[in-house]
């Protein structure tokens, strides 16, 4: 039991970090679902694009020798901003090429196109990195100032990396909250989510609002990608699949289409996963271990969909009669 107690705080921090990461990715799923009632299956690759943009910029800084000279805060801002913008633009391009021509088609048609886009993008990233670096398994260069830990009290240490993830995620979530609730464009997004036809009658350019929603969701995913790279270091073109599926689970858990729900779902899922990974082996005397953490996430998804498909906070999207 001593071991269980001594790792408790560590696990809690890991779970919260994971949870905020899922929350940021889940926002992309949930916002797009809000306006289009459609699962953007390729969102996990938008997240990976963010991670790769981050590593490319950091490796560029490193190669030019300026990584050590520049202020770490500046480097982080540049990397996060670039990941955000490029992922957002990639999501917009994806919508334009693979989804917009299919608007109005039966439900499964855009979903299949999105699955195709997901697979295509995975190998496209692989192709680009193979031609450019002759390898597609990349690792983030270490930033010395991120390798330290904050000491709270005598026993508890929180790595700076975790603080960075949590702080960035909180800033992004606050910004999104203000954007969606306080700006005219944000109101337009919510109007389209409620009823696209009426919104268009009110003079809202629905197509542009949908593109913008993809940009905002993609930008959140891009930030999550950079944070993922900074925190876990190793990335490859296929690293998005599992986090993407879990973030989707988080979105469903919180109630898909519901922005606060996505955040809540992400954090709940992150905590469940972290605790399952660490405590399962202690509780079962080593019979089952951390390798079952994915099973937990998917089991939660299946159970939620069966017993409470509206999610924890309920569904805010419209019910379509057709």
Residues of this chain that interact with other proteins (CB under 8 A) are 38-39, 98, 101-102, 105, 107-113, 115-124, 126-127, 130-131, 134-136, 241, 245, 248-249, 252, 287-288, 291-292, 294-295, 298-299, 301-302, 305-306, 309
Dump the DSSP string for 3-29: HHHHTHHHHHHHHHHHHHHHHHHHHHH
Q: Which is nearer to other proteins, 120 or 232 (CB)?
A: 120
In whole angstroms, the minimum distance from the beta carbon of 101 to other proteins comes to: 5
Least separation in angstroms between CB 295 and other proteins: 5
Question: Is 78 or 245 the residue whose CB approaches other proteins more closely?
Answer: 245
Contact 218, 28 (CB under 8 A): yes
CB of 228 to other proteins, least distance (A): 19
The answer to whether 78 and 256 have CB atoms below 8 angstroms apart is no
Least Å distance, CB 16 to other proteins, is 24
Query: Residue 219 or residue 301: which is nearer to other proteins going by CB?
Result: 301
User: Comparing C-alpha atoms, which of 72, 95, 83, 74 is closest to residue 206?
Assistant: 95
Nearest-approach distance from CB 93 to other proteins, in angstroms: 13
* In the complex, least distance from residue 284 CB atom to other proteins, rounded to whole angstroms: 8
Q: Which is nearer to other proteins, 101 or 141 (CB)?
A: 101
- Complex with other proteins: residue 157 or 207, whichever CB lies closer: 207
Residue whose CB is less far from other proteins, 135 or 154: 135
Burial label, 188 (beta-carbon count in 10 A; 0-12, 13-18, 19+): buried
Under a CB-based contact definition with an 8 Å cutoff, are residues 114 and 103 in contact? no
| Residue that is written with structure tokens 């289009």 in the block | 36
* Residue 219, Cβ density class (10 Å: 0-12 exposed, 13-18 middle, ≥19 buried): buried
CB 95 within 8 A of CB 214: yes
Please list the alpha-helical segments (H only) found in 151-290: 160-182, 184-194, 196-201, 206-232, 241-254, 259-283
Phi, psi at residue 265, to the nearest 5°?
Answer: -60, -45
Query: Which among 158, 114, 137 is positioned nearest to 52, based on CA atoms?
Result: 137
Q: Which residue number, 14 or 129, has a Cβ lying nearer to other proteins?
A: 129
Q: How far is the CB of 193 from other proteins (least distance, A)?
A: 17
């Amino acid at each position: 039991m001593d071991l269980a107690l001594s790792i408790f705080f560590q696990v809690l921090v890991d779970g919260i970090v994971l949870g905020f990461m899922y929350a940021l990715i889940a926002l992309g799923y949930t916002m797009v679902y809000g306006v289009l009632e459609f699962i953007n299956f390729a969102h996990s690759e938008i997240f990976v694009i963010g991670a790769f943009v981050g590593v490319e910029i950091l490796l560029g800084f490193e190669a030019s020798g300026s990584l050590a000279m520049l202020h770490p805060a500046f480097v982080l801002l540049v990397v996060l901003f670039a990941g955000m913008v490029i992922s957002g633009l990639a999501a917009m391009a994806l919508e334009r090429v693979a989804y917009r021509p299919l608007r109005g088609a039966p439900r499964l048609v855009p979903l299949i196109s999105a699955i195709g886009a997901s697979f295509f993008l995975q190998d496209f990233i692989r192709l680009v990195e193979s031609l450019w670096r002759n390898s597609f398994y990349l690792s983030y260069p270490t930033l010395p100032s991120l390798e330290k830990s904050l000491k709270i009290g005598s026993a508890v240490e929180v790595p700076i990396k975790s603080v960075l993830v949590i702080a960035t995620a909180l800033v992004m979530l606050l910004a999104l909250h203000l954007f969606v609730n306080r700006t005219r464009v944000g109101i337009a997004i919510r109007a389209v989510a409620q009823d696209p036809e009426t919104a268009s009658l009110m003079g809202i350019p629905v197509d542009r609002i949908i593109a913008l929603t993809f940009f905002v969701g993609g930008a959140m995913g891009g930030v999550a990608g950079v944070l993922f790279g900074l925190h876990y270091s190793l990335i490859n073109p296929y690293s998005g699949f599992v986090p993407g599926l879990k973030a989707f689970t988080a979105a469903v858990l919180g109630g898909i289409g519901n922005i606060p729900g996505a955040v809540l779902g992400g954090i709940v899922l992150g905590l469940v996963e972290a605790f399952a990974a660490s405590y399962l082996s202690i509780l079962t005397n080593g019979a089952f271990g951390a390798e079952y953490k994915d099973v937990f996430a998917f089991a939660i998804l299946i159970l939620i969909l069966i017993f409470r498909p509206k999610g924890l906070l309920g569904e805010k999207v419209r019910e379509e009669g057709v």
